[in-house]
Every structure is written in structure tokens, then in C-alpha cells.
Amino acid sequence: MQHVHLHTDSLILHHTVDERKTDQYALHCHTFYEVFYFIAGEVSYLVEGTRYALEPHSLLLIAPHVFHGVKIESDIPYERISLHFVPGFLPAENRSVLLSPFHAAGIYYPDDGSRTMLPYFRQLMNARLADEAIRDLAFRARLEALLSQILTTGYSRKGASDAAFSGKPVSRIIAYLNEHIAEPITLDELSAAFYISKHHLNKVFRRATGTTVGHYLLRKRVVMAQNLMLQGHSASAAAAASGFRDYSSFYRAYKNVLGHAPSFKPNPMLLR
């Protein structure tokens, strides 16, 4: 399989190899769905406080607004396929069921030895060779085929464990932060709510997620505001709805996190 970099208005697909070890997780979140297919190497993936030690030919599903990142554990060539797409690319009548695995408890699919998923990615990549008049249709049909296979696999493995490591106390804290993401949240309030000292809270949160509570909240709020703006809301309205108390702090945070001002409107599929 040749390396591929494919971009459309609705879909991005990369098949790439890296050969460099990293010291920390490259944490981020975005506004679209991601299917991550790990082929070879030694990497771990951190998703909302849960660490996955990926096995070759395993699959990881990332929903929009989920804080996640990869850490390359050695210099062994790290090969993967990453697929990003907007939900509107799927037919409305099938969208909900096809996207349901992304919102289920088990988002990690270890390989059973059959490498079932690889042909679906190959077919999706080959769709770029279709005639321009039918190329979008070819992409859509093959994306549906891939998601249908993931759905079928999910039903067949119900009850299987989906995590290599689970930080249960941190999972409760993350769930609380997401539920109150647009509200003022302080470490004192979290400490009282979870009966844990601020020092210990910061320590276990950073150990599990690779970042601080404050940075986690900031990134989540920026991406939430970004999504609202893509839906047509003004920057000031999006800032207020996402928990920023004033526009100047929102402007600084947005520019620091995304690298550009809120007034800039790039292709949403290129936002990482």
C-alpha cells in the first residue's frame, strides 16, 4: 500500500510513517469524527484520561470534542492511517446508527488476527482514482462500508474490555468538567466535590491526561466556541456560550490554541 494524503471538503485521509520518539502526548481536540488505524510501531494513545497501548492493526474511534493525543514510545517506524470526516457527509437516514460506535463505551478495537479493517481503508483510498463526476459518491459509499463494518464488529464483541488502562477517579472528574464546561470551575470546587486535595487532584489529573485541569478546560472551551462559530454564531456569542467571561481572554486563548484569530475562517476539515 502506498502512502496517501487525501483531502476533500468533507474527508481527510492520511497513510503515513514517522520514525521519531516523542516525550509527551500531542494533545488536541477537534470538531469532526476520527478513525485511527494503527499498523506498526510502539505508541500509546490518551483519550479523555484513558491510556490505550495500541496493538498492530487495531482501531481507535475519536468523537468530536474529545481530548486525545498520541505518544510515540520508540524510534521503531510508526505507521498508521488516520481518517477524519464531517457527519454531514453521511446520509441522514443512516447517520445516527453509523456514528453510534464513536459514542459507545468501547472505542478501542484490537485486531483478532484477521486484519478485517485494512481492505476497507484500501478501498477508500482507491476511491480517489474514480472519475471526478462520481468521486464524492465513491468516497461516501466506501466510508459507509467501513463504518458499517465497525458497527458489525462492535456488536460481535460486546462485553470485551476496551481499555489498557483506566483512571477511574480521573474519569469522574473529566465527566464533571464536560458536564459543566461552560460554567466557572475552580480547583477549590473540584477538590471539595471529589474529596481530594488540590495538590493530589492536579497530580493524578496530569498523570492520567498529560495536561493540567486548566489547560484541559481552556482547550475544550476554545474548540466548543470554534464549533459554534462554524455553525454561524458570532465570535462574542460563541465565547460567552463556551464559558469565557470576557472577549479579550477568549481572543487570547483562541489564538494561542489554534494559532489564528477568531475572525479567521479556514476549512473546518483542516482544523486540528
CATH code, domain carrying 125: 2.60.120.280
CATH code for position 192: 1.10.10.60
DSSP bridge pairs for 59:
37, 109
> 134-152: per-residue pLDDT in tens?
999 999 999 999 999 999 8
Q: What is the mean pLDDT of residues 104-124?
A: 89
161 within some domain? no
Are residue 131 and residue 203 in the same domain, yes or no? no
> pLDDT value at position 248?
92
26 within some domain? yes
Q: What is the mean pLDDT of residues 173-181?
A: 85
pLDDT mean across residues, the chain: 85
Between 28 and 137, the more confident residue is 137
pLDDT at 160 over 80: no
Residue 83 one-letter amino acid: L
Cα separation of 68 and 76, whole Å?
Answer: 22
Q: What is the mean pLDDT of residues 173-186?
A: 86
Between 47 and 156, the more confident residue is 47
Are residue 21 and residue 128 in the same domain, yes or no? yes
Q: What is the mean pLDDT of residues 98-113?
A: 89
Are residue 80 and residue 182 in the same domain, yes or no? no
Are residue 199 and residue 112 in the same domain, yes or no? no
> pLDDT value at position 80?
95
pLDDT at 264 over 70: no
266 within some domain? yes
Say whether pTM exceeds 0.85.
Answer: no
Give Cβ neighbours of residue 221 (< 8 Å, ≥ 6 apart). 181, 182, 242, 243, 244, 253
Q: Which of 100, 132, 156 is the last residue of a domain?
A: 156
215 within some domain? yes
Are residue 217 and residue 178 in the same domain, yes or no? yes
What does the DSSP assignment read for the chain? ---EEEE-SSEEEEEEEE----SS---B--SSEEEEEEEES-EEEEETTEEEEPPTTEEEEE-TT--EEEEE-SSS-EEEEEEEE-GGGS-HHHHHHHHGGGGSS--EE---SS--SHHHHHHHHHGGGS-GGGHHHHHHHHHHHHHHHHHHHHHHTTT----SEE-HHHHHHHHHHHHTTTS---HHHHHHHHT--HHHHHHHHHHHHSS-HHHHHHHHHHHHHHHHHHTT--HHHHHHHTT-SSHHHHHHHHHHHHSS-TT----GGG--
Are residue 174 and residue 148 in the same domain, yes or no? no
> pLDDT value at position 166?
41
Q: Which of 16-30, 149-163, 198-212 has the lowest mean pLDDT?
A: 149-163
Q: What is the mean pLDDT of residues 41-62?
A: 92
Highest mean pLDDT, choosing among 139-153, 170-184, 254-268: 139-153
Domain count, the chain: 2
Are residue 21 and residue 59 in the same domain, yes or no? yes
Are residue 152 and residue 174 in the same domain, yes or no? no
Percent over 70 (pLDDT), the chain: 91
Q: Which of 156, 182, 209 is the last residue of a domain?
A: 156
> pLDDT value at position 103?
86
Are residue 138 and residue 17 in the same domain, yes or no? yes
197: domain range? 167-270
Are residue 123 and residue 177 in the same domain, yes or no? no
Are residue 142 and residue 75 in the same domain, yes or no? yes
105 within some domain? yes
Query: Per-residue confidence at 49, pLDDT binned at 50, 70, 90?
Result: confident
162 within some domain? no
pLDDT at 115 over 60: yes
Q: What is the mean pLDDT of residues 77-87?
A: 95
> pLDDT value at position 163?
41
> pLDDT value at position 53?
92
Q: Which of 156, 182, 217 is the last residue of a domain?
A: 156
Q: What is the mean pLDDT of residues 57-78?
A: 92
Query: Per-residue confidence at 19, pLDDT binned at 50, 70, 90?
Result: confident
Are residue 189 and residue 140 in the same domain, yes or no? no
Query: Per-residue confidence at 66, pLDDT binned at 50, 70, 90?
Result: confident
